[in-house]
């Protein structure tokens, strides 16, 4: 049977071990919203008998293997590989044969406390203002003069699990003109980052002011004094006067590089299991990159409760989409506009179809692992012989008292 204690004893530290060891204590001392509780429970029980599964037997050596179900929670570090690959397979058909630019829009840290109290409003406003900024620059004839293709991915964390609210943006080099022509960037870059940051700042501050006026920000739950209009006006003025950061990376050369990028960013969670070093009765230790000192690799030790608190800051609101598409790849008119863009680029109007990939073929490609081969004799094939019901399903039925 699978056990987190056995994994930890072998030196394999996982996020599930942290929650199994310290989760109950943290929950008793802190008030969690339901989505945070569900994430903790899902991660702690992922691929254990708590979720059920099935028993397999080798048809050659008769060895048994217990296979437990995954939780499929989007915050679980063990459940993202398959989800990521399926998502990437769907995106391949949407990539255009042009370079792609990588832009990063970052919110000032003073906005962090607002996001803690009203995450859905702040995250939505970030998407709205960044997408509007990019679409506006793309439509401007000074830069392109057409409709862009952009994918935006929300990240809320930094390397030490602190809040760092930013959007990674992948933007095709060019735009589709109203007449159906593909317009390429004329200056060797997409948009000027200083102008982007100024427009982004103006749009976000204006949107934040409207959110205050309409009561969509939980000012009572903020650690800042914002209950009075003068206090909110002071915050808005400080945001207008500060410098905002938009970072532009070198463009990617082609579709495969774009897919590699997307695979690194789209389904990443706040911390992966391979970064965890140890978990004890008091602390959790994990690796991080210190960007302020030349990307030096270091190890940080946090009190277990503080580690869990930081991780839960990055659990998204229920149903919130952290990957969104804009312009000609927005869902409402994607098929038609992508067809016109491909024709304008001298490509076939539709990409060649790709046959669906089986689970076995997927794991063989990703991990060079034959999921059907017996891991013991390496000759036989594992065959499912019985289900493993969840503990709740195994429990005897409860009968009402007469």
Q: Which two tokens stand for residue 152?
A: 């935006």
Model pLDDT for residues 48-75, shown as the tens digit of each residue:
999 999 999 999 999 999 989 999 999 9
Q: Do residues 278 and 21 touch, judged by C-beta distance below 8 A?
A: no
* DSSP per residue, 101-151: EEEEEE--GGGHHHHHH-HHHHHHHHHHHHHHHHHHHHHSTTTT-SB-EEE
209-264 pLDDT tens trace: 999 999 998 876 566 778 888 999 999 999 999 999 999 887 776 677 777 777 77
What is the pLDDT, as a whole number, of residue 11?
61
Nearest to 265 by CA among 150, 171, 168: 168
Each domain of the chain, given as residue ranges in start order, spans 4-75+358-394, 91-270+313-344
Among 123, 134, 133, 197, CA closest to 165: 123
pTM exceeds 0.85 for this model: yes
Structural tokens at position 57: 């037997």
Cα–Cα distance, 173 to 396 (Å, whole number):
62
Assigned CATH class of 91-270+313-344:
alpha beta
CB atoms inside a 10 Å sphere around CB 107: 27
Q: Count H helices, E strands: the chain?
A: 13, 13
Instruction: Provide, rounded to the nearest whole percent, the portion of the chain with pLDDT above 90.
Output: 66
How sure is the predictor about 394, in pLDDT bands with cuts at 50, 70 and 90? low
Higher pLDDT, 342 or 79: 342
Taking the C-alpha atoms of residue 327 and residue 138, their distance in angstroms, rounded to an integer, is 9
Which letter does DSSP use for residue 302 in this model? E
> What's the rounded mean pLDDT across residues 256-274?
81
Residues 308, 23 contacting (CB under 8 angstroms): yes
pLDDT tens digit string along 95-113? Answer: 898 988 999 999 999 999 9
Alpha-carbon distance of 226 to 217, in angstroms, equals 10
- pLDDT, mean of residues 359-378: 76
């Amino acid at each position: 049977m699978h056990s987190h204690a056995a994994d930890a004893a072998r030196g394999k530290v996982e996020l599930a071990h942290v929650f199994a060891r310290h989760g109950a204590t943290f929950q008793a001392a802190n008030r969690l919203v339901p989505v945070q509780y569900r994430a903790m429970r899902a991660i702690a029980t992922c691929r254990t008998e708590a979720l059920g599964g099935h028993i397999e037997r080798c048809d050659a050596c008769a060895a048994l293997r217990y296979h437990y179900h995954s939780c499929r929670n989007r915050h679980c570090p063990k459940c993202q590989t398959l989800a990521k690959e399926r998502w990437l397979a769907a995106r391949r058909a949407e990539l255009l044969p042009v370079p792609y630019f990588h832009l990063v829009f970052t919110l000032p840290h003073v906005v962090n406390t607002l996001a803690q109290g009203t995450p859905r409003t702040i995250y939505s406003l970030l998407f709205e203002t960044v997408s509007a900024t990019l679409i506006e620059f793309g439509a401007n004839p000074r830069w392109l003069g057409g409709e862009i293709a952009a994918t935006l991915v929300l990240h809320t964390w930094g390397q030490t699990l602190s809040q760092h609210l930013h959007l990674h943006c992948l933007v095709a080099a060019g735009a589709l003109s109203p007449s159906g022509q593909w317009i390429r960037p004329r200056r060797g870059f997409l948009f000027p980052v200083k102008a982007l940051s100024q427009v982004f700042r103006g749009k976000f501050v204006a949107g934040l002011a409207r959110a205050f006026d309409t009561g969509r920000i939980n000012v009572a739950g903020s650690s800042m004094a914002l209950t009075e209009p003068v206090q909110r006006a002071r915050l808005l003025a400080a945001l207008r006067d500060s410098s905002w950061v938009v970072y532009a990376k070198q463009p990617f050369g082609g579709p495969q590089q774009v897919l590699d990028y997307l695979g690194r960013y789209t389904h990443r969670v706040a911390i992966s299991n391979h970064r965890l070093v140890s978990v004890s009765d008091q602390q959790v230790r994990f690796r991080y990159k210190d960007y302020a000192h030349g990307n030096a690799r270091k190890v940080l030790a946090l009190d277990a409760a503080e580690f869990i608190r930081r991780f839960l800051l990055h659990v998204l609101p229920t149903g919130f989409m952290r990957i969104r598409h804009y312009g000609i790849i927005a869902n409402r008119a994607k098929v038609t506009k992508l067809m016109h863009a491909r024709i304008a680029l001298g490509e076939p109007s539709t990409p060649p179809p790709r046959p669906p990939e089986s689970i076995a073929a997927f794991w063989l490609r990703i991990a060079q692992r034959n999921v059907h081969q017996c891991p013991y004799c390496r000759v036989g094939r594992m065959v499912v012989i019985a289900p493993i019901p969840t503990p709740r399903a195994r429990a005897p039925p409860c009968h009402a008292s007469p």
